[in-house]
Structure 1
Amino acid sequence: MLVVAALLTGLGFWAGRPDDADPSGRGLPGDAASGPLPTGPCAPTDTLVPPCGAWWGAYVPYAANGSLKDAVLGFEKRIGRRLDLVYNYHDMSGTELDGQLLTPDEQELGRDRLLMLAWESTVWTEPHHENWTETQLGWGNIASGKYDEEIVDPQIRRLKAYGKRVFLSFDQETDARVEEGAGTPAEFVAAYRHLHDRFRELGADNVVWVWTVSGHLGSGKEMKALYPGDEYVDWIAMDQYNYYGCHGTTDWKDFLRSQRPGYAWLRANVTDARPMMLAEFATAPDADDPGRQRDWYTGIPGAVKELPEVRALVHWNRPASERPECDLTVNDGPGLEGYREAGRDGYFQQPVPPR
């Protein structure tokens, strides 16, 4: 029953059954796990926690030519270093464009970087979620296994074949999705646990599970109810920003003021037994004081040590809207200067494992 394929047809797409559902294994990623693991006191743990610092990562949108690889390499050239972690987003359409985990570009970038894949239980209307419109598949349907054969299992086989450890976040900023119609918190917990168990059943033990919420304290009740439990989660993550003028406020929040409230609340009310990732972070510019953006980033190496369980920082390098006050990128100017300087700090120079 090609339920999602029928949905895609209605949206003007055609996915069919993914090629990698073929039990012969054609089209599956090659095994990327190779080389000796780092040793010594700073060697990452089995769940990719760097004990002596934090991963320095970013989400970088696709280049104009459609290449993720070109976009990431261009970004790295600007910032003067290789990223530890590349973050990318996928839907559950099963299409090669957005619904296939571990695209060829991701596999190539993953040779000497960690990958984090966000997997949304939606079908996007436009390529790469350009205008943020989508159709919900529903947490209840995911939990019931309705899409296992058609969508879930083929992607699990892809991750298993890849071999190398990968961060995976199911329905990031999940607290915002309750109002969007994805389902109830109980249905999310059931869906998350079902996916986790399905990966285990099919032998994909190279997945590091990241539970990602907004970190917005106004969603505290929802965030608490959405937690699947420590036995299902390897990292917790949040997405907090200094939006400043983008949200019409004159309250400039430095890095710590933008991150500490969510960090402290999640550790006090959800779990203090898991490392934390800033899965999206950035600051908007201040047109009246451009140097503020540079200083926001240069202050990160010192400030993040006051959040000792933060072990990965992933910059969101995409504008929140076309308005200049909502440009969260660090592609040029003071923002680039500050981000480049922060990334040189030794705290963000940890040994990336090859498998």
Structure 2
Amino acid sequence: MSPAHRAPRRKITRRHVLGLAAAVAAVPAATVAVQQVRTPDSPAEATTSPGHPGAKPSAAAPPAVVTRGGGTVPFRSGKAMLGAYLDLSGRTAAQAQALRRQQAGRDERIVHVFYDWGDLLPRTIDGLPAHAFPMVSWRGTRYTDITSGSADDLIARAARRLKAQGRPVLLRWAWEMNGDWYGWGAARNGKNPAGFIESWKRLRRIFADEGATNVSWVWGPNWNSSPVADWNTFAALYPGDKYVDWVGVSGYNLHHETPETLFGPIYRSYAARKPILISEVGAVDRGGRTKADWITLFAQWVQAHPAVGGVVWFDTDTHPGFTEKWRIDTSPESLAAYVAMARNPRFSG
């Protein structure tokens, strides 16, 4: 979304992930404009064949969708867990959760937190409601740091710490790997998607060796790829069904993108095989009912797509240098639209 968003930090919250662009040696900071990669009318993937993930759907019958899966965080067919990355100015994590509970009449089902590659991953999550699942987004590193074996001890330590949570945990490692803004993207690792896949599998193997069987693995590309190239598509970077529990996707309404533009391609590519997690989503408020109407449109899109098993909103006003306040209550209308979504049975997963 922005240079601050994409700059690595040493702190554990999204607020710090979004903060001043302090570099980490293994993951150089990117400097990119505040924009989606392409316009809403451009394809989300380069297409080379009708079966390619970016190919336009045919007029055939709707595709089959997954009815189970999710690993230790189970997917419930036709139900979507609703959660957020929640960081509100002047409030602790527990206070922010209490405010949203008061407004929506319910707890978050997913609580999203961010950690750098070298951080100690959490044994507990501040403000976590009793029946919520944590989603830990863990920054990546250069593929050779992993495939060489030099990071094995760091990975094993991370596995032991997540295991110590003693509850199911969603782990989203090296998200948006199909973008060129992170040091762990294929674009900045020799255009080598095989290196990403080898790294992913090595992490999973070490976690298994450490007995971290409570971890549910979220593979989370961006909604579109930058650059558009055969080596940078969803298919080229997918580790394989055996190694993925949830297929995630990041997508924001920054330039009047519809939910179908943002999430349709990934859904059509994987909904028959894996549950889909909208792992980052938010909408720009352009005044009036613009944000409220987009939230309503998004809720309708999820209702029409039963393989979506989770939605994680970007709910914050602590994004430095960005004038849009991403929190859900930027206006009474946007809050009302979000609350209506939260109380819809479709979002009762």
Structure-1-length-normalised TM-score? 0.69
Corresponding residue for residue 60 of structure 1:
86
Q: Which residue of 2 aligns with 1:315?
A: 313
Task: Tell me the SS of whatever aligns to 1:236.
Answer: strand
CA RMSD of aligned residues (A): 3.0
Q: Distance in 1 between matches of 2:89 and 2:104?
A: 16
The residue matched to 1:158 in structure 2 has which SS? helix
Is residue 2:211 matched to residue 1:212?
no
Of the structure 1 ranges 273-282 and 138-147, higher mean CA displacement relative to structure 2 is found in: 138-147
Residue aligning to 1:187: 195
The letter of the residue matching 2:133 is L
Q: Measure the CA separation in 2 of the matches of 1:52 and 1:310.
A: 7
Q: Which residue of 2 aligns with 1:276?
A: 276
Select between 339-348 and 171-180 the one with higher mean Cα deviation: 171-180
Counterpart residue number, 2:251: 240
The alignment's TM-score, normalised by the length of structure 2, stands at 0.70
Measured in 2, the distance between the counterparts of 1:329 and 1:305 equals 22
For residues 309-328 of structure 1, the C-alpha deviation after alignment (integer angstroms, 9 at most, x for no partner) is 1111111123666454x433
Shift of residue 92, structure 1, vs aligned partner:
2.0
Larger radius of gyration: 1
- Distance in 2 separating the partners of 1:57 and 1:214: 19
Cα deviations by residue, 1:10-29 (Å, 9 ceiling, x for unpaired): x899xxxxxxxxxxxxxxxx
1:200 matched to 2:208: yes
Distance 1:73 1:186 in 2: 44
Q: How far apart are the structure 1 equivalents of 2:334 and 2:262?
A: 17
Consecutive unaligned residues of structure 2, counting only runs of 5 or more, are 1-9, 11-21, 25-66
User: How many residues in Structure 1 have an aligned counterpart in Structure 2?
Assistant: 277
Counterpart of 1:49? 75
- Counterpart CA distance in 2 for 1:42 and 1:226 is 23
In the alignment, residue 347 of structure 2 is paired with which amino acid? F
Q: Does 1:80 align with 2:80?
A: no
Structure 1 equivalent of residue 167 of structure 2: 164
| Residue 203 of structure 1: how far off its partner (Å) | 0.9
Matches within 5 A, 1:1-355: 46-61=72-87, 63-64=89-90, 67-93=92-118, 99-102=119-122, 104-106=124-126, 109=128, 111-121=130-140, 137-149=141-153, 151-176=154-179, 177=182, 178=185, 181-182=188-189, 184-216=192-224, 219=228, 221=230, 222=232, 223-244=234-255, 252-264=256-268, 266-267=269-270, 272-287=272-287, 290-318=288-316, 322-324=321-323, 326-333=324-331, 334-350=333-349
State how far apart, in whole Å, the 2-side matches of 1:50 and 1:312 are.
10
- Which of the two has greater helix per residue? 1
Segments of structure 1 that go 5 or more residues without pairing to the other structure are 1-7, 14-40, 94-98, 122-136, 245-251, 351-355
| CA distance in 2: counterparts of 1:212 and 1:344, whole angstroms | 26
Equivalent-residue separation in structure 2 for 1:115 and 1:280 (angstroms) = 14
